[in-house]
Chains A and B, each alone.
Chain A
């Protein structure tokens, strides 16, 4: 039997969407979702589920969607995933569930991400509430940070009656979902809705609380039965080259925090400004680099060029993001590495000096290792440079809790049960692994919740 073609996802036209910050995919209609779900072969051994870091019942959920049982599908997805509307949008499905889908070999995998986003959006529109407050078990857990790892850990523990308090340093909860991922990829009404679920089930979120700074870690240790640290990897990496101090040079973090958290794209109605020139360069080719590049385009930049030291096929960015960026006329220039930033007498950036790279052997990640080719240097004129070379764990928390064992790169050490050198103190997400994805952090959160429960009930 011939399998029908993947139901295409309707998207905002590239010419229109570069003038706004609204979602690029428009989402499946109920009819489209059912048609897409019906493509599923309902494999006896659903490989898709083996690719899911939070182990969702993907096969059954798709079956329910095909049967138009959206409510049941929503509850089943919510069982293993606290925030399905978000993961449906930002997971790298092509490397996970969809990557394992048997149909991917023949044609195109089931669009699992968009199906799950559809179900979650459908539930949001009718304000479907699926949780009552659980029976309290009297145990108290403190969670530091409110990003994806924390959200998952909090929900899993709360469902079993643990009293959970989240401490967030910023004035809004969500971590990278709030400050990092732009609204055209993850609309803020979706973030707000998913976070409101935490409050509905009785998770206490304390904003503006910087553990180690205005809340003592010792106080938490005394007051709580266990602590989960998921402070993420919030500190930007710079090039450490000449000219980085120039005006017009941003870390991707700064660029994205201004745009996403502080809504600089709505300046002056929102107070935080951003200066984005006509000619923008972005260093790096991960999702963060692409997010920043696409924000720059939406802020009105004429030309946005990504400079990457490898080739696109080795880029950490998601396929969908690369495609979207290309449609938005963002160029990705390969085998180039910056050597210095050029500036004028007023201290503003005027350009960048790049050097051609070549591959020599492999690095630790198994990808070809780029090295600079001496002598092959040239200059590119720029008036804004965004450095997106990844992030490291935030020093602020670590410097205030010196008794935690850490690696030299700033990650917190843990045993196989995610417990740090301090009994009852667990760690997860990017604070443990360095830099990863939203869903991997959620998987960490789930595993940590299990470990915490085991620890408290041994």
Chain B
């Protein structure tokens, strides 16, 4: 199976979207699942949120962050991944919630937002509200990549108010919780922001499921690298998650553990930049 890229477009200066042929993953995907990417044989197994699965292809939103995502950014339509594995993880059970919100403030969260809103909308009796926040106008994704089209209500926010509402997803959500009854909240994105979001929704006593992004290796429950502590119990983000009850997650540990390989990531980046200099 060749996992060939069939579409690659910029979402903003830092993020891009790709469609890749992965029929097996596409066939079994449910919103909340993720894929594991291996760009090259000596690459890392990288977990990645899936935005959409359609016609044997999966769509992913990727940020130019570390070595692999930058390396991948140099790839073009027609280039192929070494392996794409999945779908991984446990997709949350979706049902009629009533008024249900998905809030996101970061690339993977925006992908999950689209996937989840699409699915929530299919269920009768759900009123789906989507909140997306970006730092500023130039960071806002093109309309066709935003969740507006999938939700009953859509709120766009920018940190500086240059487009849509001023503020971030937390500001929007806080106001909303003050004003109206929300039955269920899903959220994905920046981990410290999700901690704050969970704290906020707990105050209003609204059930909240959040994606808890962690470092993974095999992503099949073997290594324990992605251990998350939920209600005092050890869970694995790769097989039990990655979505957990935000009110019960030990966020300090989740935030801390994400930084375990910071030094090594910088080293990989430096090494990659050196290599690129030689190429030029």
Can you list 15 A-B pairs with a CB-CB distance of less than 8 A?
A214-B27, A234-B222, A245-B227, A245-B257, A247-B257, A250-B224, A253-B223, A266-B42, A267-B268, A268-B67, A269-B42, A271-B44, A347-B256, A347-B257, A394-B222
Q: Which residues of A contact B86 (CB under 8 A)?
A: 214
Residues of B within 8 A of A274 (CB): 264
Question: A179 and B222 in contact (CB under 8 A), knowing A171-B38, A171-B83?
Answer: yes
Q: Which residue from chain B places its CB closest to the CB of A269 in the assembled complex?
A: B42
Judging by beta carbons under 8 Å apart, are A247 and B234 in contact? no
Chain A CB within 8 A of B139 CB: no
Binding site for A on B (CB under 8 A): 24-25, 27-28, 38, 42-45, 67-68, 82-83, 85-88, 217-218, 220-225, 227, 229, 234, 239, 250, 252-253, 256-257, 259-261, 263-265, 267-268, 271-272
Enumerate chain A residues within 8 angstroms of B38, measured Cβ to Cβ.
171
Q: Say yes or no: A247 contacts B221, CB within 8 Å.
A: no
Interface centre among A238, A247, A248, A258 (most CB of B within 10 A): A247
Given A245-B229, A257-B217, A268 and B260 contact (CB-CB distance below 8 Å): no
Residue-wise, chain A 254-285 has the 8 Å CB interface mask toward B (1 for contact) of: 10011001110011111111110000000000
- B224 contacts which chain A residues (CB < 8 A)? 235-236, 238, 250-251, 253-254
Q: B198 to nearest A CB, angstroms?
A: 18
* Complex A-B, nearest 9 residue pairs according to Cβ-Cβ distance, in ascending order: A347-B256, A273-B264, A254-B223, A245-B253, A271-B44, A251-B224, A234-B222, A247-B260, A268-B271
Q: Which residues of B contact A208 (CB under 8 A)?
A: 24, 83, 85
Chain B residues lying within 8 Å of A250, measured Cβ to Cβ, are 224-225
Distance of A267 Cα from B67 Cα, bound (Å): 12
Given A235-B221, A254-B217, A269-B42, are A214 and B25 also a contact pair (CB < 8 Å)?
yes
Minimum CB–CB distance for A232 against chain B, Å:
9
Q: Are B267 and A268 in contact (CB under 8 A)?
A: yes
User: B239 near A395 (CB under 8 angstroms)?
Assistant: yes
Please report the C-alpha to C-alpha distance between residue A399 and residue B24 in the assembled complex, in whole angstroms.
20
CB atoms of B68 and A271 under 8 A apart: yes
- The DSSP consensus for interface residues of chain B is mixed
- Would you give the shortest CB distance from A410 to chain B, in whole angstroms? 11
**In the complex, are the beta carbons of A171 and B42 less than 8 A apart?**
no
Whether B67 pairs with A271 at a CB distance below 8 angstroms is yes
On whether the beta carbons of B264 and A262 are closer than 8 Å, the reply is no
Q: Is A380 an interface residue (CB 8 A)?
A: no
- Chain A positions within 8 Å of B234 at CB level: 238, 240, 244
Report whether B261 and A275 are in contact in the complex, using a CB–CB cutoff of 8 Å.
yes
> How far in angstroms is the closest Cβ of chain A from B165?
35
* Closest Cβ–Cβ distance, residue B206 to chain A (whole Å): 27
C-alpha gap A237/B263 in the complex (Å): 27
* B264 adjacent to A267 (CB under 8 Å): yes
Known: A267-B268, A394-B220. A262 touches B45 (CB 8 A): yes
Contact of B88 among A213, A234, A269 (CB under 8 A): A213
B contact residues around A240 at 8 Å (CB): 234
A170 at interface by CB-CB < 8 Å: yes
Q: Which of A272, A275, A395, A399 contacts B217 (CB 8 A)?
A: A272
A274 to B267, CA, bound (A): 12
* Centre residue among A169, A262, A263, A268 by max chain B CB count within 10 A: A268
- Pair B253/A248 contact, Cβ less than 8 Å: no
